[in-house]
């Protein structure tokens, strides 16, 4: 039998609220989405490959020995690109043989003549093709088809995952059973008058039950998220293995049907094989991630587990019916909101919106009205009743009465939910209100910064009087230099002299320069004169016997 709730309230270590906050912090630090996880894997691989690739593309190898060493460095680059963490000597030989079949060592002279950008592109393409050839050679080296597929499966997939989907689902079912018991017990306590019948003093056990419910509900939400990721990963692994197997069959049939194939026809097969294997290897790392996160949450469930195993909880429930979330939704689905009666409000009903089941609901889908009216009871909202849209946010409710009451005073209940979240800090993260609280803090800080200001000045003494002075202290720089010269013992040392900026043989000179005065002078006088027009006439136009035609210039001289 577990300890009673009356005794638990005196236990100093029982703090489900603190455990819930620790669980939320741990989950935030350890959990990453699929996209972030895959991006981190790609970044880690690039960080390992980048230095080797840069060394290859910047190499100035000329001799045969240098080219041979650079060729083996390309083998290392291909192994790192393929994601092999600790390659064996056999793997190195297999990759070197695959590289030699595509890119012989004699081609290194041509490779060195390429531009740096062309070298980088050629290296990436070479790594993809050689990895595909290496995988194909490993497959062809097996006797039967089943063994050939297993030969290239990543080692992490050959062993069972850390935590399977069935184990996460079983843990979720256990957690939900505890949640429904907590909810039923709180409903019985909150909706009856004889609350004092519960052991000694009802306030402390009631508070523990609320905090334990929040802890279990938060764990339930995390498990649902981990279960979704695990199911997606397992399904993705199965699809990739099937696609990899079918592609290998096509590649084997294409290669074995002909003796010689052009590189343009067979290289796409090898590239796709390398891509599928790389995706399968990344997905293999993702399979174990949800299990690791779930194991990290276990230490934060001990407090509410002690409460759920308590004898008083089962005694309190008695013959009460423990309803599941699905049963509550079924009971409340019959009463739906009629939008025609609420024309001044924005209501969403099922069947009128294609993405109705995927709408982002406020308070993580729980009923805010029930939380305020009961002082902390969490009941899941039923979207089939109707979803209220208010100031760009969507709200669901556990009953029609709750929906109507909330819609009459939405701003009041929204602020009341915020006050309840301040009483129980774990609800801030559970309801996803942390961004709203951060914005409120930023606005308050901005108001404080914009408040009245005054000018304040301080004085700092630059020549403060020392209260204590050692007898060997010397303030003169020249005295210190003389002491340094004595310590060097110049009569026993060989010295030399050099003129520098800090030399003592320098002298200070000063000169005075008279700046030039501003003067002006006139270098040209503007004027004008009348130049005579040159009149030229043609003579003999009237006709004259015995006379010819000619021109007569009557222009006067300038000096006349």
DSSP-assigned states of every residue in 65-119? HHHHHHHHHHHHHHHHHHT-SS--HHHHHHHHHHHHHHS-GGGHHHHHTS-HHHH
Helices and strands, number each (H, E), in the chain: 22, 5
Return the axis-axis angle of helices 410-423 and 400-408, rounded to nearest 10°: 100
Q: Encode 177-200: b = buried (16+ Cβ within 10 Å), e = exposed.
A: ebbbbbbbbbbebbeeeeeeebbe
> How many angstroms separate the CA atoms of 105 and 99, rounded?
9
Closest CA to 302 of 22, 505, 96, 34: 22
Q: What pLDDT sits at residue 415? A: 92
Cα angle, residue 74 at apex, residues 73 and 76 outer, rounded to 5°: 65
* 8 A C-beta contact, residue 550 and residue 540: yes
Q: Quick check: helix, strand or coil at residue 400? A: helix
pTM beyond 0.85: the answer is no
Cα 494 versus chain centre, distance: 64
CA–CA distance from 176 to each of 193, 218, 322 (Å)? 28, 11, 11
| DSSP symbol at 551 | E
Q: What pLDDT sits at residue 213? A: 92
- Residue listed under structure tokens 């429904």: 180
Q: What pLDDT sits at residue 555? A: 79
The series of mean pLDDT values per 10 residues for the chain, 560 residues long, is: 47 77 92 90 88 89 89 90 81 88 88 89 90 85 56 76 87 92 88 49 71 92 93 90 87 72 77 88 88 90 75 74 89 80 79 76 92 91 89 90 91 92 90 73 55 70 63 80 79 66 66 77 71 76 69 75
* 8 A C-beta contact, residue 168 and residue 227: yes
At 232, list the tokens. Answer: 């997606």
| H/E run at residue 54 | helix 34-57
At 52, list the tokens. Answer: 């080797």
552 bridge partner residues: 537
3-state DSSP percent of the chain in helix, strand and coil, to 5: 60, 5, 35
> How many angstroms separate the CA atoms of 201 and 189, rounded?
12
Q: What pLDDT sits at residue 349? A: 83
């Amino acid at each position: 039998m577990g300890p009673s709730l009356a005794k638990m309230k005196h236990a100093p270590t029982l703090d489900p609220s603190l455990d819930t906050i620790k669980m939320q912090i741990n989950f935030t630090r350890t959990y990453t989405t699929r996209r972030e996880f895959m991006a981190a894997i790609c970044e880690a691989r690039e960080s390992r490959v980048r230095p080797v690739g840069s060394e290859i593309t910047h190499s100035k190898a000329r001799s045969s020995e240098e080219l041979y060493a650079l060729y083996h460095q390309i083998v290392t680059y291909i192994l790192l690109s393929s994601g092999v963490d600790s390659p064996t000597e056999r793997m190195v030989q297999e990759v070197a043989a695959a590289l030699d079949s595509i890119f012989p060592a004699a081609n290194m002279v041509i490779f060195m003549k390429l531009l740096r950008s062309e070298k980088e592109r050629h290296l990436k393409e070479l790594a993809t093709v050689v990895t595909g050839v290496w995988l194909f050679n490993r497959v062809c080296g097996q006797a039967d088809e089943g063994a050939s597929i297993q030969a290239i499966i990543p080692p992490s997939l050959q062993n069972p995952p850390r935590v399977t989907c069935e184990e996460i689902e079983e843990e979720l079912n256990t957690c939900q059973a505890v949640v429904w018991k907590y909810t039923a017990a709180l409903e019985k306590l909150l909706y009856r008058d004889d609350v004092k019948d519960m052991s000694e003093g009802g306030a402390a056990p009631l508070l523990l039950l609320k905090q334990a419910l929040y802890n279990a509900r938060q764990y339930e939400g995390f498990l649902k998220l981990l279960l979704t990721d695990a199911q997606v990963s397992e399904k993705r692994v199965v699809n990739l293995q099937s696609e990899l197997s079918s592609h290998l069959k096509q590649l084997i049939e294409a290669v074995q049907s002909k003796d010689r194939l052009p590189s343009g026809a067979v290289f796409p097969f090898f590239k796709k094989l390398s891509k599928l294997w790389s995706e399968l290897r990344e997905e293999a790392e993702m399979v174990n991630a949800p299990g690791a996160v779930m194991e990290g949450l276990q230490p934060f469930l001990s407090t509410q587990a002690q409460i759920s195993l308590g004898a008083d909880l089962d005694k309190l429930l008695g013959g009460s019916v423990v309803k599941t979330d699905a049963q509550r939704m079924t009971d409340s689905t019959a009463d739906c909101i009629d939008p025609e009666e609420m024309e001044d409000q924005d209501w969403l009903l099922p069947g009128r919106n294609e993405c109705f089941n995927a709408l982002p609901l406020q308070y993580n889908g729980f009923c805010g009205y029930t939380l305020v009216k009961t002082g902390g009871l969490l009941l899941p909202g039923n979207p089939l009743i109707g979803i209220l849209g208010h100031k760009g946010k969507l709200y669901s409710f556990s009953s029609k009465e709750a929906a109507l009451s909330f819609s009459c005073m939405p701003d009041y209940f929204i602020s009341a939910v915020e006050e309840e979240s301040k009483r129980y800090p774990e609800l801030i993260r559970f309801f996803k209100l942390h961004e709203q609280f951060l914005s409120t803090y930023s606005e308050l800080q901005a108001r404080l910064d914009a408040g009245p200001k005054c000018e304040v000045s301080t004085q700092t003494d630059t020549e403060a009087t020392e209260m204590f002075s050692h007898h060997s202290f010397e303030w003169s720089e020249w005295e210190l230099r003389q002491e340094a010269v004595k310590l060097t013992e110049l009569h026993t040392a060989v010295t030399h002299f050099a003129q520098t900026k800090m030399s003592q043989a320098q002298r200070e000179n000063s000169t005075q320069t008279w700046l030039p005065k501003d003067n002006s002078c006139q270098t040209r006088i503007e004027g004008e004169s009348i130049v005579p027009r040159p009149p030229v006439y043609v003579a003999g136009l009237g006709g004259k016997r015995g006379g010819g035609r000619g021109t007569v210039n009557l222009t006067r001289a300038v000096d006349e």
